[in-house]
Structure 1
């Protein structure tokens, strides 16, 4: 089928701090992915309920609202099992049992290359 381009995988960035979210959106797009963004776990759930094409959720752990990033990760794994999860925090230590199966943790500050590489690894 000539003319059809391969769709870029979609990553949902969930981060309550505007500058950190904007930076993550920029470097994930620069790595070749499409990006959606949410300022809270509640907003992320609304987006996930409305779409069926999200491949990865990249979430901060400490966020205001009805759930933090760890609860969001559990909700995503329970309702949307194929979606990959990357959680990050500069304040919370995460053990192997804190995230659901296949969930990854990256401590802040992280490098854009580290996150881009991890996303690529998870969706191939």
Structure 2
């Protein structure tokens, strides 16, 4: 989940072109709602610096606690996560990141479950 509309649209397009189904949400509350209602979500991508609601660090902790089988990719161009902010099944990508790096991270998380 990305709070910048253009970046979020680009990430969704990247994932869909790569053959993944993507659920586009604009805030952490909607991400939690999607996780509660859609059974096959395998990866959550979130910016750390979200403008509305709780931030990506809180979202990542929530996902890690409630849905331990869901991988997490955290991104930011402004905030460097502190030790303990990134859950064990999560990874951090500094913005701007290469599109291939994002896909590699998604594939790596999904491969862990295979």
TM-score, normalised with respect to structure 2 = 0.93
Aligned residues between the structures: 111
Q: Find the partner of 1:66 among 53, 62, 66.
A: 53
The answer for the alignment partner of 1:7 in structure 2 is: none
Structure having the higher strand fraction is 1
User: What residue is the counterpart of 1:113 in the other structure?
Assistant: 100
Over alpha carbons, which structure has the higher Rg? 1
The alpha carbon displacement at 1:88 in A equals: 0.1
Q: 1:25: how far off?
A: 0.5
Residue equivalent to 1:85: 72
In the alignment, structure 2 segments of 5+ residues that lack a partner are none
Q: 1:64: Cα distance to partner?
A: 2.1
**Contact 1:28/1:112, CA 8 A, preserved across alignment:** no
Query: Could you tell me which residue of structure 2 aligns to residue 94 of structure 1?
Result: 81
Aligned to 1:33: 20
Question: Structure 1 or 2: larger helix share?
Answer: 2
Task: Please give the per-residue CA displacement for 1:73-100, whole angstroms capped at 9, x wherever unaligned.
Answer: 0000111110000000000012342111
Deviation at residue 65 of structure 1 after TM alignment: 2.5
Residue 45 of structure 1, CA deviation: 0.8
Point out 4+ residue stretches in structure 1 off by more than 4 angstroms.
none
SS in 1 for 2:22: strand
